[in-house]
Amino acid sequence: MTLQLEIPTNEVVELSDVEKKQIDALLQETLYVSGASIDALKIIQNHRGWVSNASLLALSKYINLPLADLDSVATFYNLIFRQPVGKHVLHPCDGISCDLMGGKKIRQCLKKQLKINNGETTRDNLFTLLPLPCLGACDKAPVMIANKQLFELLEEKSLPSILNHLQQEHAK
Amino acid sequence: MSHSVHAPNNPLTRFITQDENCWQLNQYQMQGGYDGLKRALTVSGPAVLDEIKESNLRGRGGAGFPTGLKWSFVPQGDDAPHPKYMIVNADEMEPGAYKDRLLLEKTPHQIIEGLIIGGYTLDADIGYIFIRGDYYTAIKHIEIALKECYDNNLLGKNILGSAFNFEIHIHTSAGRYICGEETALINSLEGKRANPRAKPPFPQVAGLWGKPTIVNNVETYCNLPHIINFGASWFKSLGRFKDAGTKIFGVSGRVKTPGLWELPMGTPIGEIIDNYAGGMCDGYKLKGFLPGGGSTDFLLEKHFDTPMDYDEIGKQKSRMGTGTIIILDDKYCPVAMVLNLVKFFAQESCGWCTPCREGLPWAQVLLEKIEQGKGELSDIKQLEDLCKFAAPGNTFCALAPGAVEPLQSALIYFRDDFELHISQKSCPYCSEAYSEDINDQ
Ligand SMILES: Cc1cc2nc3c(=O)[nH]c(=O)nc-3n(C[C@H](O)[C@H](O)[C@H](O)COP(=O)(O)O)c2cc1C
Ligand code: SF4
Ligand code: FES
């Protein structure tokens, strides 16, 4: 594929045996290989935290789909990360119902406490801040998702203890 | 078809109890779960379809299209193409909508039962549940519920001893609002970027992998077991106005008891806001509200008597949408509210057509200008033009027309607020809505 040249990468990534096994299982389930592409990207992200150019290339070779196709899919969806992220990705809601209930203050407070802007990661690699639209809990606004957990009825004063709690989960 | 007599008036939520395991198979079956499927399997697919048509069930995903009619376009008979697909649209991402999450977390079997009944009705082979990736608990419950079904002969070959075979897969979305549009959803399932498809051909004829495909909302499927169990005339009798059945309604914003309630179709808006949501919080007044999520036109207190009924809300120039009401209070800036929504839609635009890809970001720029006190009167005119450019028929899908609904109605109902921002060169609402950090970067 000449298209491979369009994605610069010096690094060579080999998919791990676990990744290969999980991707094989996906391919079993689908009639067409491309139907597995999004889930395969997610598998890689699960193991590596994000999808680098090099891992994209490795996946492209492994499932035999054009790199450009995989890249166009990987860049389209919000939950496929094309940049490294921290241990915990914080998703405070920036939907309208949360904002009506003070969501913006919560997001500003998070930025201040972590000393980062949206899309950035703290120096210690613990937290990445990535607001998401309406998280489907508008009657408990404002809310945030972190570590697959939903934190409801957020108040500024409850944020330090939530961050602490996440940090401790990390230490475990 | 014969029907069960003990008909409830809250079919969708009666399975939800205090018990945190109420979503599991044994509890669901103890309360009559899968009786609808059993009953359906005793009659033919076309007979089930007749009952659904007769029930006047309309899709609960926002557009209110009659479900039976939609299904009747799927090719039937021996020379119909296979596999046929039935898809549950569980990609709920509409701003201010949170009803499907409740059903997914608390009643996964109700959705699955509806999907199996749908599969049987249309002689489909494969079901998909396309679920929002951030709905972790819902995903877990659906996965376990599917396994319970395979273990109990409710899925797989010869379901409950019948000749019907059906399998269901779950796909967790990688996140984009546009995935909820049914043809974009199909593209996403095929592993592509989620751009909507041109219609015709309609998915019912050529959808997933070119095969006949039905996409319906979570709540739509939830109604099916009950329609089959208790009958179309019972279902119609539930509505208080013209539309049939019940609906999960919700209210969010500065009300005393925000939440979700299953109520008859046609329940007046004011009753939902005042009786169920408890009215406004102390110190706040109602300024307006979006009746059905973030892509519906504003209505005002004078519309409180309007029943939550597709056509009646349409007459007031708004839409029932998802039935989840968002309240704008008197202390929150209407320009900021519309800006939040437009920004969301601009970001989620798939980029296929110009009024959406270019128009929405430009509307965002103008609204930011106005909110920051740097707007001019001509900006209002431009915003009105952008709304017209994004009107239905000018774009490839309904995202852009929906996106401008709050804006176009705000320009009518809250025009004073827009003008005041411009004349006093600042936001008149000193509340939390305003902040110099307007871009929220
Ligand atoms: C941008 C956009 C997003 C949508 N999102 C959803 C959604 O999350 N869930 C849903 O059920 N329908 C959604 N819809 C509507 C679907 O296209 C489709 O009409 C619906 O799933 C049909 O189901 P129903 O007839 O049962 O309502 C969306 C439509 C558009 C244009
Ligand atoms: S209206 Fe917007 S989301 Fe829909 S097809 Fe056009 S660009 Fe894509
Ligand atoms: S707007 Fe935040 S959960 Fe819906």
pLDDT in tens, B201-251: 999 999 999 999 999 999 999 999 999 999 999 999 999 999 999 999 999
> Which amino acid would we find at residue A55?
S
Output the domain CATH number for residue B119: 3.40.50.11540
- Burial status of residue B157 (CB atoms within 10 A of its CB: 0-12, 13-18, 19 or more): exposed
Which of B178, B183, B387, B394 gets mutated to test ligand 2 (max ligand atoms within 8 A of its CB)? B178
pLDDT of residue B368 exceeding 90, the answer is yes
CATH of the domain at B280: 3.10.20.600
Binding residues of A for [2Fe-2S] cluster: 93, 98, 134, 138
Query: Which backbone phi and psi does B424 adopt, to 5 degrees?
Result: -95, 5
> Is residue B403 scored above 90 in pLDDT?
yes
Confidence check: pLDDT of A10 > 80 = no
Nearest CB neighbour to B98, from listed A104, A132, A136? A136
Residues B417, B309, single domain; the answer is no
Q: State whether A38 and B332 contact (CB < 8 Å).
A: no
Expressed in angstroms and rounded, the spacing between residue B390 Cα and the centre of ligand 2 is 10
For the four alpha carbons of B346, B196, A138 and B281, in that order, the dihedral sign comes to positive
Interchain proximity B340–A99, CB inside 8 Å: yes
Pair B309, B366 in one domain: no
Alpha-carbon distance B387 to nearest alpha carbon in chain A (angstroms): 20
Q: Which helix (H) or strand (E) holds B223?
A: helix B218-230
Out of A108, A135, A139, the one facing B134 most closely (by C-beta) is A135
Same domain, B279 and B196: no
Boundary-marking domain end, from B279, B314, B330: B330
- In angstroms, the Cα distances linking A21 to A18, A49, A75 are 5, 18, 24
Report yes or no: A114 and A129 within 8 Å, Cβ to Cβ. yes
Kindly state whether residues B263 and B214 are assigned to the same domain. Answer: no
b/e sequence B403-431, b meaning 16+ C-beta within 10 Å: bbbbbbbbbebbeebbebbbeeeebebee
Q: What is the mean pLDDT of residues A61-68?
A: 95
Which of A65-79, B2-16, B320-334, B364-378 has the lowest average pLDDT? B2-16
Minimum distance, in Å, between the CA of residue B67 and any CA atom of chain A: 25
Return the number of other C-beta atoms located less than 10 Å from residue B366's C-beta.
Answer: 21
- B312 domain-assigned: yes
Which residue's structure tokens are 């607020």?
Answer: B417
Answer yes or no: is pLDDT of B383 > 90. Answer: yes
Q: Has residue B78 been placed in a domain?
A: yes
Residue nearest to atom 1 of ligand 1 (CA): B399
Omega of the bond prior to B200 within 30 degrees of 0, cis?
A: yes
Residues B227 and B273 in one domain: no
Q: Do residues B313 and B391 both lie within one domain?
A: no
- The CA distance from B238 to B59, in Å, is 16
Nearest-Cα residue of chain B relative to residue A136: B98
Q: Are residues B95 and B154 in the same domain?
A: yes
- Does residue B274 sit in the same domain as residue B423? no
pLDDT at A7 over 70: no
In a domain, B12, yes or no: no
Domain count, chain B: 3
Pick from B137, B130, B76, B145: nearest CA to B101: B137
Q: Check whether B435 has a pLDDT greater than 90.
A: no
- The answer to whether B250 touches B259, Cβ cutoff 8 Å, is yes
B156 residue type, one letter = G
**Residue B175, token pair as written in the block:** 């996140």
User: Measured between alpha carbons, how far is B228 from B47 in angstroms, rounded to an integer?
Assistant: 10
Residue A127 gets the label, from left (phi > 0), alpha (psi -120 to 50) or beta, of beta
- Of the candidates B301, B330, B359, which is a domain's last residue? B330
Residues B253-299: pLDDT tens digits?
999 999 999 999 999 999 999 999 999 999 999 999 999 999 999 99
Read off the pLDDT of each residue in B300-329 and give the average, rounded to a whole number. 97
Closest CB from A77, A94, A138 relative to B252:
A138
Domain of residue B321: give its range.
240-330
B398: in domain: yes
**Domain CATH code at residue B336:** 1.20.1440.230
Residue bearing tokens 């749908």: B118
Share of chain B above pLDDT 70, in %: 97
Those residues with Cβ within 8 angstroms of residue B425's Cβ, 6 or more apart along the chain or in another chain: B373, B374
pLDDT at A4 over 90: no
- In this structure, the answer to whether residues B55 and B104 fall within a common structural domain is yes
- Say which residues have a Cβ less than 8 Å from residue B151's Cβ, sequence separation at least 6: none
Alpha-carbon gap, residue B178 to B398, rounded angstroms: 10
What pLDDT does residue A2 have?
38
Yes or no: say if B308 and B314 are a contact pair by the CB < 8 Å rule.
no
Q: Output the residue whose Cα is nearest ligand 1's atom 13.
A: B180
What is the pLDDT averaged over residues B190-202?
95
Mean pLDDT, chain B, rounded, equals 95
Residue B170 lies in a domain: yes
The residue among B287, B313, B284, B318 whose CA lies nearest residue B300 is: B287
Cα–Cα dist B419/B427, whole Å? 10
* Chain B CB contacts of A101 below 8 Å: 252-254
Question: Same domain for B156 and B279?
Answer: no
Q: End of a domain among B190, B208, B238?
A: B238
pLDDT higher than threshold 80 for residue B434: no
B341 part of a folded domain:
yes
Rounded Cα distance between A115 and A105, Å, is 15
Nearest CA to B262 out of B287, B226, B228, B231 is that of: B226
CB contact under 8 A, B209 and A31: yes
Q: Are residues B273 and B359 in the same domain?
A: no
The reply to whether B32 falls in a domain is yes
Q: What is the mean pLDDT of residues B17-34?
A: 95
Q: What was the pLDDT predicted at B441?
A: 54
Among B157, B162, B128, which Cα is nearest to B37's? Answer: B162
- CA-nearest residue for atom 4, ligand 1, is B180
Is the pLDDT at B70 greater than 50? The verdict is yes
Across chain A, mean pLDDT equals 92
Considering the domain boundaries, does residue B8 fall inside one? no
Q: Which residues pair with B89 in a beta bridge?
A: B130, B217
Rounded mean pLDDT, B14-38: 95
B230 and B268 both lie in a single domain: no
Residue B64 has pLDDT above 60, yes or no: yes
Q: Is the pLDDT of residue A3 over 70?
A: no
Find chain A residues with C-beta within 8 A of B347's C-beta: 133
How many other CB atoms are there within 10 angstroms of residue B377's CB atom? 10
Report the C-alpha gap between B294 and B272 in whole angstroms. Answer: 18
Segment B310-324 mean pLDDT: 97
Structure tokens at B221: 């499927």
Distance from CA of A87 to the nearest CA of B (A): 17
Confidence check on the interface: ipTM exceeds 0.90, yes or no:
yes
Binary contact (A73, B193; C-beta < 8 A): yes
User: What secondary structure letter does DSSP report for B59?
Assistant: -
